């Protein structure tokens, strides 16, 4: 038995796990953002609910450097730069594992979702931002700096897209670069494209609903969005050799959108297949906890 925890910018969610299929949720706690002592106390309060747990496994919205365990997490300032696993392990008296939430999503899908039976799984997040995680033979691939799988950043977007082609600027990204997939691929990105193309402000949910209802303007936005996102994703798939690409995040709530992205991606990869490749993730409820459970149980068998 282990404690698995999913830490986001708004809530800390905990659970007791005896297997990936046997996860008992615990009460949620508001995430302390600026108070390190309060943050540590919140984690301790979760762990205290299962004193016999052998270890703690954490999914978190941040990137962990595998060299020293230090975490980069902009939206929780009180832990930014900390060697979080080592610090919490010393305080709790238990082994602690910490992994990126997109990595945990990919691990959840590889072990208990759409990626079961696949050797190479690339998990994609299309939500508030664009993220990803790579799992090979059931293991997370971290890479230098912990950034493996982070396909959302880097100047990768085209400057024209859609049919007929439309000029698209390379938008500045919060990471400091311009033209990142994150600037157009996420929910805010599709909204940004709609504003650019039509000078109309609309939510991603409304844009997708209008597209499905046959709205011409929304269809144009979706056409440009798919064209821009499909090419960098196809390149990633060529490089890593993934045979399945589960998608999570808010945009995954629109199966028709993911199906269109899938068809376009399969036209642009080297490996030809009639089988769906980019699919909606199957771990609908708390994939961060499921991934953390798989990670922790794999490292600490009862």
Q: Are 96 and 90 in contact (CB under 8 A)?
A: no
pLDDT for the residue 147: 84
Phi, psi at residue 132, to the nearest 5°?
Answer: -170, 160
Tell me which of 3.30.420.40, 3.30.470.20, 3.40.50.2300, 3.30.310.10 is the CATH number of domain 2-103+285-299. Answer: 3.30.420.40
- Phi-psi region at 18: left, alpha or beta (left = phi > 0; alpha = psi -120 to 50): alpha
**Is residue 175 reached through a cis peptide bond, with omega within 30 degrees of 0 on the bond before it?**
no
**How many Cα atoms within 13 Å fall on the side-chain side of residue 110?**
29
Q: Which CATH number fits domain 117-280: 3.10.20.30, 3.30.420.40, 3.40.50.300, 1.20.1250.20?
A: 3.30.420.40
Integer angstrom CA distances of residue 124 from 132, 237, 252: 4, 11, 10
pLDDT for res 300: 62
Domain pair 2-103+285-299 / 117-280, same fold: yes
Full pLDDT tens readout for the chain, 302 residues: 999 999 998 999 999 999 888 899 998 999 999 999 999 999 999 999 999 999 999 999 888 998 899 999 888 999 999 999 999 999 999 999 999 999 999 999 999 999 999 999 999 999 989 999 999 999 999 887 788 899 999 899 999 999 999 999 999 998 899 999 999 999 999 999 999 999 999 999 999 999 999 999 999 999 999 999 999 999 999 999 999 999 999 999 999 999 999 999 999 999 999 999 999 999 977 899 999 999 999 876 65
Domain range summary for the chain, segments of one domain joined by +: 2-103+285-299, 117-280
């Amino acid at each position: 038995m282990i404690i698995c925890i999913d830490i986001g910018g708004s809530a800390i969610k905990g659970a007791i796990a005896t297997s990936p299929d046997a996860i008992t949720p615990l009460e949620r706690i508001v995430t302390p953002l600026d108070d390190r002592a309060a943050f540590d106390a919140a984690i301790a309060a979760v762990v205290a609910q299962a004193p016999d747990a052998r270890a703690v496994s954490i999914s978190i919205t941040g990137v962990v450097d595998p060299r020293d365990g230090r975490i980069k997490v902009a939206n929780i300032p009180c832990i930014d730069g900390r060697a979080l696993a080592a610090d919490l392990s010393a305080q709790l008296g238990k082994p602690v594992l910490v992994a990126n939430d997109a990595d945990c999503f990919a691990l959840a899908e590889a072990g208990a979702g759409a990626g079961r039976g696949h050797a190479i799984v690339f998990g994609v997040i299309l939500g508030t931002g664009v993220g990803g995680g790579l799992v090979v033979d059931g293991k997370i691939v971290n890479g230098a700096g912990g950034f493996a799988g982070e396909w959302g950043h880097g100047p990768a977007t085209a400057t024209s897209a859609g049919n007929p082609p439309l000029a698209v600027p390379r938008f500045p990204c919060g990471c400091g670069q311009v033209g990142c997939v994150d600037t157009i691929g996420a929910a805010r990105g599709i909204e940004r494209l709609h504003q650019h193309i039509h000078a109309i402000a609309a939510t991603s949910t409304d844009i997708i609903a209008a597209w499905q209802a046959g709205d011409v303007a929304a269809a144009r936005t979706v056409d440009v969005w798919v064209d821009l996102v499909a090419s960098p994703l196809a390149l990633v798939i060529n490089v890593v050799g993934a045979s399945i690409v589960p998608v999570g995040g808010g945009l995954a709530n629109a199966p028709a959108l993911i199906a269109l992205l899938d068809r376009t991606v399969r036209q642009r990869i080297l490996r030809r297949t009639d089988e769906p490749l980019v699919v909606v993730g199957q771990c609908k409820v708390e994939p961060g906890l499921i991934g953390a459970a798989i990670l922790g149980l794999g490292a600490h068998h009862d």
